């Protein structure tokens, strides 16, 4: 087979990003809700997301910088408060989830912008997405910065304090029925995948 070699250091950050997300797919999506110190709430999706470990239970997502190098609202809030909630968006919430990725001004609540309902959390201040059938309340363990400037990574590692799972998704043994969950994942470019 003939191959073509790409060297990230010889590419622009935007070109390298586009190549990376087309190679690592499908990716699960963390729909992260945070709260600023003044109480303003933020909600944004991140497709650089996965489980971290099970003792303690942890998750990790990468909150890359904006294309101009500024940190995103989610990262600012996590640094300030040490708390966040990972909500999972099923297929029927895909459009609203995608709309929360728009670059709203700092302090604008995506919940109100896209018509979602806030649900109170038990252990952290940021609210859950009431419409989401799965939510994980998390406390920050560590942020690991990797790189600087546009689309540089900030790996947010959180310990899961509790899970909120819709009864309709649970099997008798207490795990999520993947055939019912109707998960979506991010592909390259503007493509999504639906797990059914």
pTM, two decimals, is 0.94
- Domain count within the chain: 1
pLDDT score at 14: 85
CB 66 within 8 A of CB 76: no
In a domain, 122, yes or no: yes
Backbone torsions φ then ψ of 166, nearest 5 degrees:
-60, 135
Measured CA to CA, the distance from residue 185 to residue 89 in angstroms comes to: 9
Residue of 148, 126, 145, 146 whose CA lies nearest to 135: 126
In a domain, 3, yes or no: no
The CATH code of the domain that includes 106 is 2.30.110.10
SS3 90: strand
CB 68 within 8 A of CB 89: no
Task: Give the count of beta carbons closer than 10 Å to the beta carbon of residue 124.
Answer: 23
CB 136 within 8 A of CB 143: no
Measured CA to CA, the distance from residue 20 to residue 124 in angstroms comes to: 33
pLDDT score at 32: 98
The whole-number mean pLDDT for each consecutive block of 10 residues of the chain, a chain of 196 residues, reads 96 90 94 96 96 97 90 95 98 96 87 97 98 98 94 96 97 95 93 90
Backbone torsions φ then ψ of 125, nearest 5 degrees:
-80, -40
pLDDT score at 68: 87
pLDDT score at 108: 86
In a domain, 1, yes or no: no
Range of 151's domain? 8-194
In a domain, 127, yes or no: yes
pLDDT score at 110: 96
Residue of 65, 86, 107, 88 whose CA lies nearest to 160: 86
């Amino acid at each position: 087979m003939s191959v073509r070699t790409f060297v990230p250091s010889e590419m622009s950050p935007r070109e390298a990003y586009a190549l990376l997300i087309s190679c690592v797919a499908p990716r699960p999506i963390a729909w992260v809700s945070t709260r600023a110190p003044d109480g303003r709430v933020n909600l944004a999706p991140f497709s650089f997301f996965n489980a971290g470990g099970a003792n303690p239970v942890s998750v990790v997502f990468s909150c890359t910088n904006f294309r101009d190098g500024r940190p995103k609202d989610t990262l600012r809030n996590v640094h300030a408060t040490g708390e966040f909630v990972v909500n999972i968006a099923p297929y029927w919430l895909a459009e609203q989830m995608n709309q929360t990725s728009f670059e709203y001004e700092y302090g604008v609540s995506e919940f109100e912008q896209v018509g979602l309902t806030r649900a109170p959390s038990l252990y952290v201040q940021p609210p859950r997405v009431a419409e989401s059938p799965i939510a994980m309340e998390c406390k920050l363990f560590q942020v690991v910065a990797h790189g600087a400037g546009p689309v540089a990574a900030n790996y947010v590692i959180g310990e899961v304090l509790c899970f909120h799972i819709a009864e309709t998704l649970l099997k008798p043994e207490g795990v999520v029925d993947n055939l019912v969950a109707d998960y979506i994942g991010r592909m390259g470019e503007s493509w999504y995948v639906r797990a059914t």
